[in-house]
Structure 1
């Protein structure tokens, strides 16, 4: 079965609408990020972590909900190695012994017939958290620089490099804005932690792959249709790759949606970021990256 076998959509005409949509989303993201500030997880803020071993398996969601009020905020709770070992991470400012007593006494009340033992305690200090922040930021910046150079070498045209990097920046910033704005509303954690940084880098890779496929077809058509109007050629290239773009995006979206629904509480934030990333990445490949290439190329031709 082939979808959109002979499409003829006017993507170039839709670029002006895309500018408005992207502009609204980017402004909303920037306002949310500047107004609320990035909502960091314990990985980046610093905090305390405890590993409890129970006699019988316990539910992660029940442990989290029961500890939220005693600790003053919802902790990060996930299974640690086996079904009877639970990792609890909290940013409660009290002494580690005090926090440990709160956790153990609460667990004894919730599970009176399921004994627990603290087998490990640790402190994530502010210095370590700052190192993680700078490391995560450097990873994303370095990835964008390498991508710019890679596209420049591959396509020998700086307009393609700038279009690809701008589209990636567009995707990451919008997803980051969504996580910042809806952090206090969503029924699952949307704080920025190491898993979310991994999701952002995955989004960059997915969006780049989609964009490179479109750019490859543009390069082929530039050589094949030398007399064709540039914007018309871009439009033809987008239509030529539309079937592949849609099928890849839908199948990928299906997988990450299943992961979001059935992957458990720990993977909710990660999988939700991927769901957003796939949708926005597909949109940016069709309407953002190509639009920037068209605008820059036309200006370059006018200047020359």
Structure 2
């Protein structure tokens, strides 16, 4: 018989409701603290939301990010992000970089005089460098991006809630979405507390968190629905405990393998994707926790209708669909 790795025993009997007021209450307290940190300290918006200028450079010499950054540190600039651009269509001697500079105030993007100083500093590093394009993002566009990001997260949450409502029950839809918002709000609160740069890549990470977190929650809810049909007289709390225990091995294995991959990106990925990797890492941890300790607690508090529904009646007509 082949040897198999078991991170948790095949059969567990953990009472996940034993400390429910501590675990669930702690989650609610963390959400409140996240809102306080968000409201008091605010977010450290990046160029996407604060306004600034993106300069595209091109040269026959290889891009030296360290030399570029050292040359620009002497100038009175805001936050600077330097990334090398790769494309299969580039020539062998075509080396392209993208330099993003945030504005120093809220009314203007980077001034033409400052851009000229940047060009002079970069030419001192590489005399053959050229600047094929320079684009500026003003405060008006940045404000629109903020609202677009909020709408993207809200629309995704509503879409997920409608899917779970059709697939399961409205109580599960509400519990699942509140668990998702728990993950997103606490992650944003952490970014506000430590003043980690918040830009569009973090919004992409938040949307990824929504998709990942609901995946675990749906697995638990699917097993819960099966067990509700199997154990019709068992108390709802016991059925939920059984369902989480039966899916615990899958939850731990999935979360651990994801954390290993994302942790590698966080440690070795460099400064460019560190914020994105950190958001995903925190989202996986919070998503796993909320699937076990938040979503089902909300469903238990609301309650489920366990009465027999007549076939073809007012029951959930979408429940039989394997999707």
Give yes or no for TM over 0.5. Answer: yes
Deviation for aligned residue 1:69: 4.9
Distance 1:125 1:104, change over 3 A: same
Is contact 2:109–2:138 with CA below 8 Å preserved after alignment?
A: no
**Partner Cα distance (2:109, 2:145) in 1:** 23
Partner of residue 117, structure 2: 102
Partner of residue 64, structure 2: 59
Deviation for aligned residue 1:94: 6.7
Deviation for aligned residue 1:20: 3.3
Which structure has greater helix proportion? 1
Unaligned segments of structure 1, at least 5 residues: 184-189
**Partner Cα distance (1:205, 1:69) in 2:** 42
When the two chains are superposed, the root-mean-square deviation of aligned CA atoms in Å is 2.1
Matches of residues 168-247 of structure 1 in structure 2 within 5 Å?
Answer: 168-183=180-195, 190-247=196-253
State which of 76, 98, 110 in structure 2 corresponds to 1:87: 98
TM-score where L is the length of structure 2: 0.84
> Once the two structures are superposed, what CA deviation does each residue of 1:111-135 show, in whole Å capped at 9, x if it has no partner?
2x65422221111122322222221
TM-score where L is the length of structure 1: 0.89
Matches of residues 3-152 of structure 1 in structure 2 within 5 Å?
Answer: 3-64=8-69, 66-81=71-86, 84-92=95-103, 93=108, 96-109=111-124, 111=125, 115-152=128-165
Unaligned segments of structure 2, at least 5 residues: 88-93, 307-323
Other structure's SS at 1:13 match: coil
The count of corresponding residues between Structure 1 and Structure 2 is 291
**Partner Cα distance (2:271, 2:63) in 1:** 14
Other structure's SS at 2:11 match: coil
Is contact 1:46–1:129 with CA below 8 Å preserved after alignment?
A: yes
> Once the two structures are superposed, what CA deviation does each residue of 1:149-191 show, in whole Å capped at 9, x if it has no partner?
1111111x221011001000000001111111112xxxxxx32
Instruction: Name which one, 1 or 2, has greater alpha-carbon Rg.
Output: 2
**Partner Cα distance (1:95, 1:230) in 2:** 60
